[in-house]
Amino acid sequence: MKMGQLSRFWRESEHRYRLLGSKCGNCGTVYFPPREVCPTCHRDSIGKMKDIELSGDGVIESFTVVHEAPPRFSRQRPYILALIKTEEGPMLTGQIVDADPDEVEIGKKVHAVFRRMGEDGESGVIVYGYKFVLD
């Protein structure tokens, strides 16, 4: 992981580790990743955006099985990427793990788990992130 990527990772780590989003106090819409201003309410949302921790529960809206992967992910192929509609509303893109592609279907329930994503060199920082498993 390059230095710029590492610093970006640490800036974003709170919402990655806790699935921390934001909820507009004006219209009630939930966003992930968090936003400072609601794109619907604009100025009316300033000072009204509140942190909200997503449950990690959701439903598969769409998915694909990746057979031709970039070199970094070649050992994981085939792997499943899905669009997950969370209970709170935001749509997340995430990898489905611990499942065969035949088991994955649109409409199936999933929940987030935290997994090791990589590390910065042999003795570097270990990076974790969210993925999803079938319920």
Read off the pLDDT of residues 23-57 as tens digits, 9 standing for 90 and up: 999 999 999 989 999 999 999 999 999 999 999 99
At residue 71, the pLDDT reads: 85
Please check whether residue 57 is in contact with residue 86, taking contact to mean a CB–CB distance below 8 angstroms: yes
User: Of 134, 88, 91, 127, which Cα lies nearest the Cα of 112?
Assistant: 134
Domain covering 56-134, topology: OB fold (Dihydrolipoamide Acetyltransferase, E2P) (2.40.50)
What does the pLDDT average to over 61-80? 89
pTM tops 0.75: yes
| pLDDT exceeds 70 at position 10 | no
Domain ranges of the chain: 56-134
pLDDT band with cut points at 50, 70 and 90 for residue 3: very low
Cα(130)–Cα(84) distance, integer angstroms: 12
Cα(13)–Cα(56) distance, integer angstroms: 16
| pLDDT exceeds 50 at position 95 | yes
Cα(51)–Cα(41) distance, integer angstroms: 17
